[in-house]
Amino acid sequence: MEWVLVFNALIPVLVVVEDYINSYAISCLAPYLNSLCGYSSMVTALILNLIGGTPVVKLSRIVGRDHADVYVKLEFLNPTGSHKDRIAYYMIKDALDRRLVKEGGCVVEASSGNTAMAVAWVSSLLGLRAILVVNEDASPVKVAAMEALGAKVILSRPEEKRNIAERIAKEEGCVFLNQPGNEANVRAHYETTGPEILKALSDVDAFVMGIGTGGTVCGVGRYLKERLGSKVLIVGVVPKGSVIASPEASSRDVIDGLSSYSVPDIVKRYRDIIDRIVEVGYDEALRTLARVVRYEGILGGPSTGANIHVALKVAKESGKGKKVVTIAPDTILKYPKVLKEIKHLTQ
């Protein structure tokens, strides 16, 4: 009976101690919650602070029982809905630091859409003008968002947009960011995305990523190889018939965000980082995306389907106990046409 009385007397003390420990832990962790968990109740005065720190999700319903675990980093949870927020900030910050552009100045970029939107967003926040040359078939949703952010948008055929961007930059006295060759593109993922992945998972056996400009696969790949050595497999994903993997192909599939017709300068410089390049057909990417949307609840875009398609193959050959990680670069909500295409596949 005496021990019951003692215990009851201690309850208020234990509650106070528990509350103190919890409040102390929260106050200590608050600055790190965004980088660890992606989202928190933190309040920030600058929305640029919300770039990065995106969550990683383990696939649970479409991975084989005896296959490696597959993890997906949800980069569409960045402020403009893609991983390109990281490189837009890094490239523009680099140009400002090197005094290539001054406050109120102008930046130009050639992009299929996501980088252009991210450049428009960062430029508007930093008081810069943005002129964006995008594919003529770019998602109307993306183009509308760029214009809402104050950017000037010029539509062009894919093979002409770089030359047009370079000419405009010269005529207007602007800085051409040139994401496929800009080292800040690689550095953004080497300094942020790579460390975030390793911090979340502790160990990685394979990293799978689509090749658009090559910045993500090369930046993250370089970081992981420096920390984990040659045991980590770096896999690049390209559309079927891409010149990167099949230069003599008679036809080339097009998957938004991935390179079909050119080999980016970044890939040329860091080709030794990539252990394997795998081609994926457009239909394969869409079928996989439909399964991912329906069974995993991940609303990724077309390149997400391509990435996970290859990640599942790598997981099968790697076997149980291994970790394969890939990225969902953007969201299907940016692609009304693709939503209609996969609608019947999810029913």
Active site residue 41: no
CB atoms within 10 A of CB 272: 11
- Neighbouring CB atoms inside 10 A of 74's CB total 20
CB neighbours of residue 3 within 10 Å: 7
Annotated catalytic residue 231: no
Is 258 in contact with 236 (CB distance < 8 Å)?
A: no
| Residue of 123, 139, 242, 303 marked catalytic | 303
Q: What element of type H or E holds 215?
A: helix 215-228
Sheet with 69-74: list strands edge to edge: 56-58, 69-74, 323-328, 206-210, 233-239, 276-280
Q: How far is the C-alpha of 232 from the C-alpha of 225, rounded, in Å?
A: 6
Q: Are strands 69-74 and 56-58 parallel, antiparallel or unpaired?
A: antiparallel
CA 244 to chain centre: 20
* Sign, Cα dihedral of 85, 47, 50, 99: positive
Tell me the HSE value of 211 on the side-chain side, using a 13 A CA sphere: 33
Question: Token match 């390209």: residue?
Answer: 238
CA 34 to chain centre: 16
Q: Are 191 and 86 in contact (CB under 8 A)?
A: no
Q: Which of 27, 2, 35, 174 is nearest to 92 (CA)?
A: 174
Q: Which of 84, 142, 161, 225 is catalytic?
A: 84
Cite the active site residues. Answer: 84, 303
